[in-house]
Each structure stands twice: as C-alpha cells, then as structure tokens.
Structure 1
C-alpha cells in the first residue's frame, strides 16, 4: 500500500481529540498495518497481528486503547506488556503524544531495572494506561499496588520476543488478573507455533492481520559478503569504510561477541558502542540515548538488547553473524529503510554459515548478490566520526531542570549557536545534551565554569 492509496486517519470513527494526537505525531495517511487492524480494533474485536518493527503498530493499538478510555473514571483501563524497558518507554512516549489532545489522561511506565518506590508512589492514584514489562507488573500485582479489574484493553507488544525471553508463564499469570471480557490485542514480528498457541489461549475469535516485512521492500539493498572467519573484524571495518553509513547497527548472534566487536571497531577509530543484556540498565539506557542523538554512529548489539531501539532513519544494518533463522533476519533488516527511505542490509557469511543463508534466501524467494571486500589494515585513515558528542549533567527533573534551561546556558554564557545543540534529554536525576563534535570541548568547559539555572552541576563528556 503506497501513500497515495493509503486511507487517511480521518476516515476512521475517531474523535477530534485523538485525530489531534495523530497530527502531533506527524502522521498523514495510515500504514498497511494501521489500515488493516484499526477497523476491527475500533469495532472491539480481539486481534492477532504480524507486523515488523517500524510498521506503525504502536499507533494502531494505541488509538484503539485510547478510543475506549474514559478519562473521568479513575482506574487502570489499558495495559500494554513489552519485552524490555527500552521498548516500554518508547511505547509510553508515543501513547502520551497520541493522547495529547485528550485532557487528564494519566499514563505510567512500570518496568524493572529501576527503583520500585517511585512506581509504587505513582500508583497512589491509578493511571488510566499502564505500559510495562511482565516481571515488574507481576511484582506490583503481588503487592496489591496495581489493580487490573477495570482494564478494557490488553496488548502484548512484540509477543514473540517476550516468549523468547521466557515470559510466557508471567504473561499468562497477568492475563488472569485482566477481565475476560476485555479486548485483547497481540502483535508479533513473527508467527511461530508458540505465538499461535498463546493467541488461541488468550484471544476470543480474533481478527488476523499480516503485513509483509520491510525485507520485501525495494528500498532496502540486501547484500551478502563472503568472509574468512578469522578476518571478520577487519572485514567489517572495511565494509563500514566503504559504505560510510551515517548510522549503523551491527548484530551479533552471541552476547559475548558484542563487546569484542565494538572494541575492535573502536580500535579502528569508529565511534562504536556495545549493547547487550549483561549491561546495567543505566548503561544500556545511556548507550541507546547516545546512539539516538547521533553521538555514536555504530551500535553493536544482541537481538534482545536492541528491541527498544527507536531510530526511524537507520542507514544500515550489518549481520556480523548469519541469523539462526529467517524470521530473525527479517526482523533485523526491517530496522532500516523505514518510512520510504533507502536502507542497506549487509550480511557477513562464512563457509560454515552457508546453509543458514540459503534458508534465508529460500524465504525471500530470491538469491542475494555476493560481494567481497579487502580487510582493513592497521588504523585506516578517514574513518567517519559521529556528528555529535554527548555531555552528561548530573541533574534532572528532580532538580526542576528543563531542556530550555540547558539550551539557555549553552547559547547564553557558553556562546554556542542553537545549530550546535542537538537532542536534549532530561531524566529524573541526569540530563544529556548532544553537541556538535567540534564545539563539544568548548561547551564542556563553559558549562563546568558557569551555571545552569543559577546553579553549578557536575558535567562530563561521554
């Protein structure tokens, strides 16, 4: 479905308040998954949908949940389960923007990896919408802090990954706390037998929607690079030097390889960071933030850790290892070439991985072009650097700091132009600001010497 043929959101029976939220997100016409799933969702039907990352599924289930919401009733009326904290925060942010035109809607993101006390305090007055991870939701239910008896809409987002992470029993336990009559929506990038069994157990006569993944879109150039297993790291560096993507995610099959590959790329001069499940939650969040604000141009990640990655214009994906199954391949490369942009997907393939690659080509129903590349030697020249550098300020919302305060300090006493200042993220106890790389030393020195909102805070360059 191209944009010319895509129906407008105004053709749906949505109130003006929600259409204003659609406008706030910059949406004009519906994506295929939205056009197929929103009519049955708005009719109140249960739904099981196969849709790749970046297809617009959050707006699809979000509009359905918010459409059924009664802001005047103080109770939790919608629950969204996500596999990771990063994805939950991403979904929560999108739902808040969708609800921006509806007064008095309270939304809480409840995830593990952060202190429990503030979340307990936030539940003193029940939020209308809860987005969270299964473990923390069960913990709050066990303490009697969260009541789900008034839920009208229950969503499992990226259900396949939640099952991969071992959350099936927790999901089923949570489902027992939700009214049987509530609407249930299951979204998954893949449809293995375990997902079908879960859908059969939890959903009532669901409508089924399937949207082809971005792997079939001509906007993604897919290529296989034949490599010697002993030379993979220098060959990866050479590939990145050849294609010079502005932003790139490199996927490794094994968590233990992530740090090694990121370290190798850093040795060659790339601004590369690692992301995997063994990292502390704060470090994972900081890494994702730096990648999103363009302070890092290569992210080396495991599949699970990258689930919360929210980059709409990712230039390239590299499979450092051939994925173990075609579904994982489709999900990985679906992160590039979004919203009509061109994307690049490169897969390093050793002789031992040819069978896996053939299975992927069978799924695609075509042979992919093969390339060879000369390995990088020594420390190559002209390695592209990230456009920005991140400064961390040890103060945040708890200090009543706002993005405007940081921008004012940088463009005032620090003497930077507005164009040199990138994304500003203010979190509960810390703030992060991206600065054009050439101006970052000046900004760091001036912030350390000066004040933000009349106070001195510790500032560090990352």
Structure 2
C-alpha cells in the first residue's frame, strides 16, 4: 500500500493528513484518488468502512477554491446519519483550509433555517436527495458553480427510491462537472445511473466480500420463539463490547428491544418511527459506549459508521443477499476481527444457499446450545451518557466541558469519554461509577460563566 505522501497535495494538506494519522492508503483510496485528482469521473465499488469518504473528500478539498463563496461540491447520502458522519469527516480533512464552509442539508430539520444558512453561501453541501432537491426547486440552493457531485452509497439511495430525486438534482447541475459514484454493489440500476449522469467514468473495484479471517460468520437454525433467548446466549458467551441486532421491520425492532430489556440487557432501538432528536440521541449513546446493544432496522441503520463494532446479529435474515453483506460489513473493520451471527428458520435454507453462492462460501446451519449460556452478568455498559442543555451555539467547547468535569472536586480525566456537541445540547460519556459525581459537578459549577441543566440518560 502506498503512503499518502505519494499524492500531489499541498504541504498543509499533507501535514493535516499526518496529524489525523492518515499514513498508508486503503485499496479504494489508492485506486480512486489519482483519477479523482485528475478531474475524471469515477465509478467506485467498495465495501462499507473501506475509507471511501476520505477518498472523495481528499479530491473534493484539493480542487476547492475557498476564495469563492459559492457551492462548488455536493455530496448526496442516503440517510441523515451518513450525511452527519460525512460532514464530520470532511471537516476533519479540511482543518488545513481556512474559511471553508460546509453545510449539512437533510430532512428532519426546519427548512427555513437551512435556507437562512444557504443565503450566506457555502463551499460544500452534504445532504439527502429529497431535501437537496426541494431547496433547489425553491431557488434557495444554487448549483451553477458546482464542480463536483458525489453519490455516496449509491446502491442504498436507489434501494430507498431516490432515483427520481437524484435525476432531478442533476438537471440543476452544470453539464461540465466531475461526478463520483461510490457503491458497495454494482446492480444494473447503478450501471444505468452512471451512464445517464457520468462522462466515461473510470471504474474502480475493490473486493466487497468479507474473508473468514476478518469476520467470523455463524448461522443458527431455530424456531422463531427461541430467537431472543439465542441473542442473550450469544452475547453472554462471546461478550462483544458492542453489537447491532438487525430486524426486518419496525415492529420486530420494538419487540426485540423490549424482550432484551426484560432479559436484563440494556439496549437501544433505532427505527423509522423515531423523531430526528431521538435518533440522534440513540446513535450518540451507542457510539460512545453507553449502551452495548443497538436493535435496528436496515433503513434506520444505513450509513452508520460505528467504529470497532464487535458483533452483528441478524435476528432475521434479510430478504436480499446484498443487504446481508452490508450488515456484516459493519464489524471486522480496519483489519480487526468481527463476529456475525444469523438466526434462521429451517425453511430459510434457500437464503443461506444464496449467501454461500454470493460469497463463494460453504456455511452450514448449526444448532445453538443454550445451556449455561444465559448469564448476562458483567454485560452492563461501562459508560453512561450525561446531557447538558448547551452546545455549539452557546459557544461551549469540548475543552470547557472537560475542564468542568475534571475540576478539583470533579472526576479523573480518564473517566471522561466521548463528547458530542450539537447546536444547543451536548452529550458526554463518563464511566458509570463516576456518573453521579459528574452530574453534581455539572449542576453546581458554571461553564463559561453560567449554569446549565444536566441529566443522566440511562433508561
């Protein structure tokens, strides 16, 4: 693998990559960044977690003219969560560029506030197709000077029915532009889309299958009524630090989350019926280690980038083999080992046959021994999330929060985990044994000269 220093980037850009510990390129980065820097259209296939955000992000930022306050790049994502993660990663990559402005444009937030932000212009827009198209149609977003459009997780966007919105957005873009399309799979619909919106794209393919040495896959055959007990047994036996339990429907997701709670396992649910505020809180609490189990549907979990995910459990096998590959691809990232367990009924053998054919594997359904595997002791999360009713708009920094928590009457710095600042609320993870003391400090001590309300989220 080549080092990032081989790329023709500015000294400031290279120094920032070094600061971010970007040393050697992943396969997708090594194969796609050079043609992107040359201004060519690129159609790239790569699995989730392969470093594709940095691949298109480096090319996008390299070609940016920060002196012109006009929208020059648009990144389209299938979900709000992925848009949030892409925006955060682009901000990290853009640290070396002064006065660069990125805006996240997605549903779930007031449109008039986004229109107000757009009135002050931006260099980069990251958004979901539906909201981006609406703002284009209202004239609030103008793409006359766009040089690059990125379709991230394009196959997921097509699965979610965004093809018409994507085609509509392209009509507002200049004909002379660079288009990048990143997709985990290359179905016929992706090929058709690329032909309609791209100009002689360079095709880049990176292995999308998951090797047994990285992701250990097991398939357990059982009656549906035994599945929740099976999940408890798997978690008790293998004890992963974090697990996503995938369900096919919202109703199933809600039911499984309740059954796990009743079994003594703290878990969180993520599905389409949650409001954006609730979805954000759930994701923060799971990603900062305050809950070890997330029960989710595919639609809600698309685009999630949870680092160091220990295991994936398919409570129900998905209907599409590609969806199975997407699910298990969330564990075993960056060379670490991952676990993938699938619970199946006897009459679902044909789904396992399809998976074996797609992966060129020979997995067989096993019977799960439930005996002596139902203890859930020590499975409680090590962290707890506290929230403070102040955020970026209140000029509160992560350093301010850390300083308050680690004051002389506070808690040790090692007991403070991830700090997530939103506009008007901040979430901070602290070790469970220090949560009560941390809450007292936040309630009694001023931050930036004022008192903020705080509470513990542990239900």
| Aligned partner of residue 95 in structure 2, secondary structure | coil
Quote the residue 2:233 is aligned against: 238
Structural RMSD (CA): 1.7
State the distance in 1 between where 2:104 and 2:353 align.
Answer: 41
> Is the contact made by 2:153 and 2:182 (CA closer than 8 Å) also made in structure 1?
yes
Question: TM-score, normalising length from structure 1?
Answer: 0.95
Q: 2:279 aligns with which of 280, 284, 305?
A: 284
Deviates more, 1:49-58 or 1:264-273: 264-273
Deviates more, 1:449-458 or 1:135-144: 449-458
Q: Does 1:146 align with 2:144?
A: no
Q: Does 1:181 align with 2:171?
A: no
State the distance in 1 between where 2:346 and 2:219 align.
Answer: 12
Q: Does 1:162 align with 2:157?
A: yes
| Aligned partner of residue 215 in structure 1, secondary structure | coil
State the distance in 2 between where 1:419 and 1:266 align.
Answer: 29
Q: Shift of residue 180 of structure 1?
A: 1.1
| Aligned partner of residue 338 in structure 1, secondary structure | coil
Deviates more, 1:238-247 or 1:263-272: 263-272
Quote the residue 2:337 is aligned against: 342
Quote the residue 1:223 is aligned against: 218
State the distance in 2 between where 1:239 and 1:182 align.
Answer: 50
User: Cα deviation per residue 1:287-342 (whole Å; 9 max; x = unaligned)?
Assistant: 00111100010111111211232222111111111121221111111111111111
Q: Does 1:447 align with 2:435?
A: no
Q: 2:200 aligns with which of 205, 208, 216?
A: 205
Quote the residue 2:87 is aligned against: 92
Question: TM-score, normalising length from structure 2?
Answer: 0.96
State the distance in 2 between where 1:266 and 1:378 align.
Answer: 17
> Is the contact made by 2:70 and 2:123 (CA closer than 8 Å) also made in structure 1?
yes
> Is the contact made by 1:214 and 1:337 (CA closer than 8 Å) also made in structure 2?
no
The equivalences for 1:39-50 within 5 A come to 39-50=34-45
State the distance in 2 between where 1:286 and 1:377 align.
Answer: 35
> Is the contact made by 2:289 and 2:381 (CA closer than 8 Å) also made in structure 1?
yes
State the distance in 1 between where 2:197 and 2:397 align.
Answer: 43
State the distance in 1 between where 2:421 and 2:6 align.
Answer: 37
Quote the residue 1:3 is aligned against: none
Q: Does 1:62 align with 2:57?
A: yes
State the distance in 2 between where 1:125 and 1:276 align.
Answer: 34
State the distance in 1 between where 2:249 and 2:388 align.
Answer: 34
Q: Shift of residue 373 of structure 1?
A: 2.5
| Aligned partner of residue 423 in structure 1, secondary structure | strand
Q: Shift of residue 124 of structure 1?
A: 2.3
Q: Does 1:271 align with 2:270?
A: no
User: Cα deviation per residue 1:208-248 (whole Å; 9 max; x = unaligned)?
Assistant: 11111251362111111122212111111111111110011
Quote the residue 1:427 is aligned against: 422
Residue 126 to residue 425, structure 1, CA distance change in 2 (3 Å): same
Quote the residue 2:252 is aligned against: 257
State the distance in 2 between where 1:83 and 1:443 align.
Answer: 37
Residue 377 to residue 273, structure 1, CA distance change in 2 (3 Å): farther
State the distance in 2 between where 1:393 and 1:379 align.
Answer: 37
Deviates more, 1:442-451 or 1:397-406: 442-451
Q: Which runs of 5+ in 1 are unaligned?
A: 1-5
> Is the contact made by 1:37 and 1:209 (CA closer than 8 Å) also made in structure 2?
yes
Q: 2:402 aligns with which of 391, 401, 407?
A: 407
State the distance in 2 between where 1:226 and 1:88 align.
Answer: 37
Quote the residue 1:126 is aligned against: 121
| Aligned partner of residue 125 in structure 2, secondary structure | strand
> Is the contact made by 2:16 and 2:93 (CA closer than 8 Å) also made in structure 1?
yes
Q: How many residue pairs align between the two structures?
A: 457
Quote the residue 1:17 is aligned against: 12
Residue 229 to residue 34, structure 1, CA distance change in 2 (3 Å): same
Q: Which runs of 5+ in 2 are unaligned?
A: none
Q: Shift of residue 445 of structure 1?
A: 3.0
Q: Shift of residue 22 of structure 1?
A: 2.1
Q: 1:456 aligns with which of 441, 451, 455?
A: 451
